[in-house]
Amino acid sequence: MTNLDLYAKAEHLLGIEDATEALYDLYRSELDEKDVKTLLDVGCGRGGFMTRMKSDGVSTKGIDLSTLMVEECIKAGLDAECIDITEVEGTFDAIVSIFDVLNFMDKTELIRFLNAVADKLEDDGVFIADINTLYGFSDVAEGTMSNDTGNEFLSVDASFENDELHTKFTLFEKQEEDVYKKYQDTIVQHFHKIKVFQNITSLKLVEKQTFSLYDTEDKTLLIFKKK
């Protein structure tokens, strides 16, 4: 199992449903201002945002590097694949990467990814993504939490150093009475300076809004157009 699949297994124990819905509202209101007929959701997770957009009549496609996430999307009747963005066919009016997806990439991967996004955008298309601010990493994300449902026990331990948040997930899943299966892995998230986004040759950063998801100014919404 990859570390992203472990995240997929553990996500429902993190208590992030309200924050996720708040983010979807924000993305929806940004997209409402544009005439979006086709949407690509990169890092689509379980497909919650795609479901919303699809019910509004938008043609949606999702990709995610976790096979478990993609399986859930397909079960929900969504068009999703576990492929890299460069393998996606066609171009889109809008591309989104919701809830920290860009923070999962290191700087080299981020630059490669943003250039691939430009390639998949219609000429007047828009790319919207959110990133954690330095404060969001150092003050909000860092720390520990646990959740015990009886059938599952999750412990999360995150520390932020040298612009990287290392989050160790330990999940115990009950198999039968007194028998648990243990999964453990670490996810690394990377802090990105706004300058990196301003220097991308294929995309123009047209708007940035810092806002509060969990705490004061913990996230920044980035809106790009193709150059």
Ligand X SMILES: C[S@@+](CC[C@H](N)C(=O)[O-])C[C@H]1O[C@@H](n2cnc3c(N)ncnc32)[C@H](O)[C@@H]1O
Residues that bind ligand X (CB under 6 A): 4, 20, 42-45, 48-49, 63-66, 69, 98-101, 104-105
Residue 10 C-beta: closest distance to ligand X, Å:
11
Residue 66 C-beta: closest distance to ligand X, Å:
4
Q: Are 168 and 156 in contact (CB under 8 A)?
A: yes
Which C-beta is closer to ligand X: that of 69 or that of 156?
A: 69
Which C-beta is closer to ligand X: that of 65 or that of 205?
A: 65
Residue 139 C-beta: closest distance to ligand X, Å:
19
Which C-beta is closer to ligand X: that of 25 or that of 124?
A: 25
Which C-beta is closer to ligand X: that of 174 or that of 196?
A: 196
β-sheet with 203-211: strand ranges across: 80-81, 59-63, 38-42, 92-97, 121-132, 219-226, 203-211
Which C-beta is closer to ligand X: that of 6 or that of 226?
A: 6
Give the DSSP H or E segment for 38: strand 38-42
Q: Are 189 and 165 in contact (CB under 8 A)?
A: yes
Q: Are 42 and 85 in contact (CB under 8 A)?
A: yes
- Closest to 85 (Cα-Cα) out of 47, 115, 125: 115
Residue 88 C-beta: closest distance to ligand X, Å:
11
Helix (H, G, I), strand (E, B) or coil at 73: helix
Residue 150 C-beta: closest distance to ligand X, Å:
25
